Chains A and B, each alone.
Chain A
Amino acid sequence: MSNNNSTEATEGVGVPAPEGPANLIDTDYVIGQDNVTANKFGVDVDLHGKVFTISALVILLFVITTLALQNQVGPLFESLRVWLTSNLSWFFLAGANVFVLVSVGLIFTPLGKVRLGGQHATPDFSYAGWFAMLFAAGMGIGLMYFGVSEPLSHFGTAVGGTSMDGGVRTDWAPLGAAAGDQDAAISLGMAATIFHWGLHPWAIYAVVALSLALFSFNKGLPLTMRSVFYPILGERVWGWPGHAIDILAVFATLFGLATSLGLGAQQATAGLSHLFGVPGNEVTMVLLIIGITIVALGSVMLGVDKGVQRLSQINMALAALLLVFVILVGPTLLIATGFFEYLLSYFTHLPALSNPFGRDDANFSQGWTAFYWAWWISWSPFVGMFIARVSRGRTVREFLIAVLVIPTLISVLWMTALGGTAIDQVVNQGLDSVAAASGDLQLFEMLANLPLGLITSVIAIFLVIVFFVTSSDSGSLVIDAITAGGKVDAPKPQRMFWAIIEGAIAIALLLGGGLSALQAMAVSAGFPFTLVLLVACYSIIKGLMDEPRGA
């Protein structure tokens, strides 16, 4: 149970126990003042009229347009994505570097002593529960998909060397590649993978989460994206500029989730048909999405404490089991030494990999890095808001270490274990099945080459599915909070509504074939959000400066 801060007021000394000094922002805005409360068809609702209505309409319109005009809309969004990631890759790369510098820098400044929720606030969740939720919401699914395929891919392109056509590099290798040098190629490939799953993505999440937590728990503003803009826009955040920011956040969150749900269903179906010969068709995928949505619905009904937290912990336990298994039965020594070697390689290559200007490796820096950054950023309102909600009572320093440093180290271990094992199979054992398989099957091929392949593959599929459930349920909670004007105690049917809508959109677009258009759209939302995040960096520092600091 999480009933902290429980005090029997008048039976004690009579003074309400304070949570310690915090610097509230003085505003006349009452949370929920723009909300519409009604009882329609026996269902109570409590919603922010404008944010809810416009987001719902825009989403509906988008889904209908994408389905109806697929051939026109698809290429349009696709070219928008290509244009953004190729012409503005410097912006994404530079922005992400700013986020890393700010969040790493804050760990070492006295501002790190500020406690979220006031100086005497106590944490709502244990370290284990808190950390499991951070990780499951933040990366989970991607680690399953890319854990094997990305290291293999970078290793393959790096060892293949560079190729030029008309003065432009046509290979996909990171940096200057490592033609013919197997060891250097492995090292570079792992460094590039860790780069995409290390400090940068977590710094993006940390910035969003920290800004939201600070302005909500310490400044007393509602838990929505608009609150972060208060230092710049002042009271105007309660008007249309604020509505626009929140609508953008809903849009990015819902479409990011629906896309992942669709793509995840494709991967899980591929795994199931590979293992058991289940027909890999649309019926299976739709059934999977319905199943995932039903479980997510149950989890949403049980709330953060009993639903999301427990699922995340099951998830982490299973993932840890899989990780330990791969380390033990795989090339144990290679993984153990590789962990430190690749970590070192990551830091050695970090300046070159994160350099936003004058890159020769356009395919890699735009096609991989900029795409990843845009993708993480478009996910950030969702992950960040969820992380914020469960982080009350932590100090800024504790928060940043837990959100930035520990997940990075776990990502390194995960990538080393799964990717390292796969590379070992290809390079040292001459097993080509892993390299030859398609992206969504590489994990299963790698596991099949180890003992107990069937059991571990089943666990892997199960993990993919549970990771989706945890993303889906925490996503519904986030969207519900934004569309309810920052109220987390809005009636329960609302969050159920969003969980169902997510599943419905995923099914509609999967059947209609609009998933790639949607993915392109979600990534495009990363661009305006990079601006939002840069503002958030400024707001965090400004907000922390006038907070009282602990001893």
Chain B
Amino acid sequence: MFTKILVPVDLAHIEALQRSLSTTADLARHYGAAVCYLGVTATTPGTVARSPEEYEAKLKAFAEEQGRIHGQPATAKCVSSPDPVVDLDDHILDAIHAVDADLVVMATHLPKHLDAVVPAHGGKIAAHTDVSVFLVRPA
């Protein structure tokens, strides 16, 4: 059913991603799908890495580690942006085409009032793409 799963991840908040990561692993095993982990990083030094290259190396290591867990081919895609918070949605939408994904799995928070002002990324992605989107909420 699915051949390529795109998983946007934020390396600074891995603990918040655990449920979406295990969902991804289960789906990848079930459908025998390849997984691409997408990281969007700032061009300026940040918490995880001090340069986009360092971020990319860490993301690659992360993807390999995840690949060992679920046993499916795992790749990493790193995009650097001068303003990652705002441009994140666009970069995810671009990546869906770039890696030819047919499913997006991403973590999202519970709906809240502030969503009217600052919409959640997951909802926005689902509204703007033609591939399937699986939003994983916290337990």
Contacts and interface: CB of A to CB of B under 8 A. Distances in A.
A18 B57 CA distance: 10
Contact of B75 (A10, A217, A477): A10
B60 A9 contact: yes
A31 interface: yes
Interface residues of B, number: 40
Nearest to A492: B118
A487 B47 contact: yes
Interface string A98-119: 0000000000000000000110
Interface stretch (A196-204, A300-308, A362-370, A524-532): A300-308
Contacts of B72: none
Contact of A2 (B57, B64, B87): B87
A1 B94 contact: yes
B71 interface: no
| Most A-side CB within 10 Å, residue of B45, B82, B98 | B45
Interface in B88-139: 90-91, 94, 98-99, 112-114, 117-118
Contacts of B63: 9-10
Given A220-B50, A222-B45, A489 B80 contact: no
Mostly, the B contact residues are mixed
Contacts of B44: 216-217, 222-223, 389, 392, 486, 488
Contact of B114 (A19, A42, A222, A489): A42
B94 A16 contact: no
Nearest to A27: B50
A513 interface: no
A4 B84 CA distance: 12
Contacts of B113: 42
B80 to A, nearest CB: 5
A8 B75 contact: yes
B51 interface: yes
A18 B56 CA distance: 10
Contacts, number: 144
Contact of A8 (B52, B77, B82, B83): B77
A493 interface: yes
B7 to A, nearest CB: 14
Interface string A115-142: 0011000001100000000000000000
B69 to A, nearest CB: 16
Interface residues of A, number: 53
A6 B98 contact: yes
B75 A490 contact: no
B81 A2 contact: yes
B82 A389 contact: yes
B17 interface: no
B53 A16 contact: yes
A302 B90 CA distance: 11
Interface in A455-493: 477, 486-493
Interface string B25-66: 000000000000000001111110011110011011001100
A25 B75 CA distance: 30
Interface in A213-244: 216-217, 220-223
B9 interface: no
B96 to A, nearest CB: 13
B5 interface: no
B85 A491 contact: yes
B46 A489 contact: yes
Contacts of A71: none
A18 B86 contact: no
Contact of A220 (B47, B51, B83, B87): B51
B78 A6 contact: yes
Contacts of A43: 114
Contact of A488 (B46, B91, B114, B118): B46
A49 to B, nearest CB: 15
Contacts of B118: 301, 491-493
A446 B98 CA distance: 54
A3 interface: yes
A297 to B, nearest CB: 10
A8 B53 contact: no
Given A1-B94, A8-B99, A217-B44, A488 B50 contact: no
Nearest to B88: A489
Given A217-B51, A220-B45, A222-B44, 17 more contacts: A5-B78, A6-B78, A6-B79, A8-B75, A9-B76, A16-B60, A32-B47, A216-B44, A220-B50, A222-B45, A303-B87, A304-B83, A392-B43, A477-B83, A489-B42, A491-B118, A496-B117
26 contacts: A2-B81, A3-B94, A4-B80, A6-B79, A6-B98, A7-B77, A9-B76, A9-B78, A10-B60, A10-B64, A11-B75, A19-B51, A19-B52, A31-B47, A117-B51, A220-B51, A301-B86, A305-B83, A389-B44, A390-B82, A487-B42, A487-B46, A491-B85, A492-B86, A493-B117, A496-B117
Top 8 A-B residue pairs of the complex, sorted by shortest distance between their CB atoms:
A303-B86, A220-B50, A304-B83, A32-B47, A303-B83, A223-B44, A42-B112, A10-B75
